[in-house]
Chain A
Amino acid sequence: MADNAWWASALSEAVNNGKPLAVVCNGEELALFRDRQGQAFALEDRCPHRRVPLSLGCVVESGIQCGYHGWTFDGASGACTAIPNLHANERVPARYAARAYSVAERNGFVHVWLGEDEPNESVPAATYLPEGREYTGAATVSIQHEEYLAAMLDGPHCLISFDAVRMTDFFLGDPCLKDNHLVLDRGAVWSTKVLPPQFVVDYPLIVRTSVPVCGGDIRVDLLTEEETPLCTVFIASGANRRGTTSLCWRGFLHRSEGGVAPLRWRAARRAQRPPFRVHSHVDGEALAALLVAPSRDLDRLRDQSLIPVRAAV
């Protein structure tokens, strides 16, 4: 079910027309690359000739040339367009092809359609509309993908931190379902304030996490108590091998910072220090200590969304 979806699988700037980029997205091994015109493509990272990863090859005009015997595969169709040393009158059989995936690039992310059905229009990163300077990165974290999504609701402090901000686990309500995402607010305080969070009457900050019921697009917003956005982070996640999770992210500061932020925050922003950090190492102890709370809704919704599929069988 989650297979029939667009997955943001890489940052645009990581995909180029020289060396293919190997990624694992929702368990699928892919080789991503661009042609000279900048168009991005995705092929299965497996040469149909002798099963060598195509990402070991190099990008040529019309696609990827495998590094082992030099067969060339077209980026859009996957068709094998050339086998070296064939005579001029010899043709590559039409059925010779690598598996090709539909690609859509939007707002700095390369999306790949993983599924049998015709791709739809709703690309995850379409909702991510950066202003000004962006802070980006990629990592593979040693936590299973569904657990990563659950922890994003139960305890995002294990996975991401905002500069000079302390997140609490006081959930401001229950998760609500919006566009197939569970959205949850929690209170947060400036860590520069002397007063510990338990003595704060009303939290000056909100951390809002939005976690997909299916797919991998996560959004984390830091807001003022008036819901003025300060910082937005879009994290594309997906299952990698051995229960790890691939991540790539982009985030930015909103211009509407206002006068609410403490001096330390504002000074660090002027110095262009990153306003957030997506953890590439997850603290197992902290993770294990997380109580299962709002993520229960995620499990429940996933079970429900499976019903139509089962009924169809």
Chain B
Amino acid sequence: MHTVSTNDTVAGQRSKRPSDWTPVNYDLHDTWFPVSHSRDVSSRPIRRIIHSQPYFLWRENGISQAAEFHPSRLAALRHASSAFTGGSGSYPVIERYGYIWAWYGNPDHADIQLLPHIPFLPLDGNIPGYTQRTVRFDASSALSVENLIDLTHADFLHANTIGDGISESDVVEVEWTSETVTRTRMVTQKSVAPVMRWVGGIRAKYQDFRAVLHIHLRSNVCISYPRFRPGYDVPNLQPFLPVGRHRSRCDVTFNTTAAPSPFRYLMPRINYIIQPQDNSVVRPQNQRYLDESDRRDLHSRFDAPGTRYRYQMEQLAKRQRRGDFSYGTDAEPGRDITTLLGMDG
């Protein structure tokens, strides 16, 4: 097969090239996953999956529990439990921001300090149900995150809902640590997005827009703070739970409680329109990222946040392949990100 994409490499240099991006195979350990909305867990156990590993969730006297086995079989099967629960069958678990967070990795490393800070969600999870939704993606979580970090697809895939149109200026910045990637986009004088105009009641022709997306690499927890002026803030949490190499689920929260009705109620549901559009591309993408290939992806300068995400993920995966699961000194997953998100500006 002749390949026109990346065959301009001088022979012999090939081995020096970075390996192909195969995010589908990533399995990053030692992190908290928001495995369920709090309200979905009652005394009746439910079953969720992280990286093919079962998580049974239920409450005892109101306290959340997470185990490898159904509680009715826990005693009998405890001896068969894995290293993820250190032989106890029970995962470290904690309830915050309206989610049950379960630890994935070595249970001895579970540390509440490693829980992400989400400044726009109440710590006790006291938030109305209309803000929370569940969507599923037919792709690995990393490809779904890539879709979210990527700004240029909205004009094509989501033209009818959040399509961009023309703006006066559009600046994108990326910053990162060994554990996070943050993308900031500042747009001035952009034509008002259809959803803001028709549902949000914004009559102005143009609006300024600033959106910060903060991604925790290990857990695919995406913390997003878009601010529209004139308009509203639509802070949201989109945690892509890696169910397996081919599927992910996302228990989202859109905190629109400060916005007027009906926008407040409709915006959290916009995922039901946007998600199938995103899924239509990530679904066929997934199988093409399973195996390493000589045909490397082509990039444009608009892909800078995405390629940075790929690079940081690759570094983290490399480190974990070497057996190093520690958090670097530059990484404080729990640090206050209020300023980073531009909430106080």
Q: Measuring CB to CB, which residues of chain A are less than 8 angstroms from any residue of chain B? A: 46, 48-53, 56, 65-71, 78, 80, 83-86, 95-99, 116
Contacts and interface: CB of A to CB of B under 8 A. Distances in A.
A48 B295 contact: yes
Contacts of A80: 298
Nearest to B156: A70
B285 A97 contact: no
B14 interface: no
Interface centre among B3, B156, B295 (most CB of A within 10 A): B156
A51 B4 contact: no
B156 A95 contact: no
Given A56-B281, A85-B302, A96-B298, A48 B5 contact: yes
Given A51-B285, A52-B285, A70-B152, A95 B300 contact: no
Interface string B184-206: 00000000000000000000000
Nearest to B306: A50
B285 A50 contact: yes
Given A70-B155, A95-B7, 8 more contacts: A48-B4, A49-B298, A49-B299, A50-B297, A80-B298, A85-B152, A99-B4, A116-B2
A96 B299 CA distance: 9
B129 interface: no
A92 to B, nearest CB: 8
A49 B297 contact: yes
B152 A69 contact: yes
B288 A46 contact: yes
Contacts of A71: 300
Interface in B1-22: 1-8
Nearest to B7: A95
Contact of A51 (B8, B288, B302): B288
11 contacts: A48-B297, A49-B299, A50-B297, A51-B285, A51-B288, A67-B157, A69-B302, A71-B300, A84-B156, A85-B152, A85-B302
Nearest to A96: B298
A69 to B, nearest CB: 5
B157 A68 contact: yes
B170 to A, nearest CB: 8
Nearest to A80: B298
B5 A95 contact: yes
A99 B157 contact: no
Interface in B285-307: 285, 288-289, 295, 297-300, 302
A216 B300 CA distance: 40
A99 B157 CA distance: 23
B33 to A, nearest CB: 26
Nearest to A99: B4
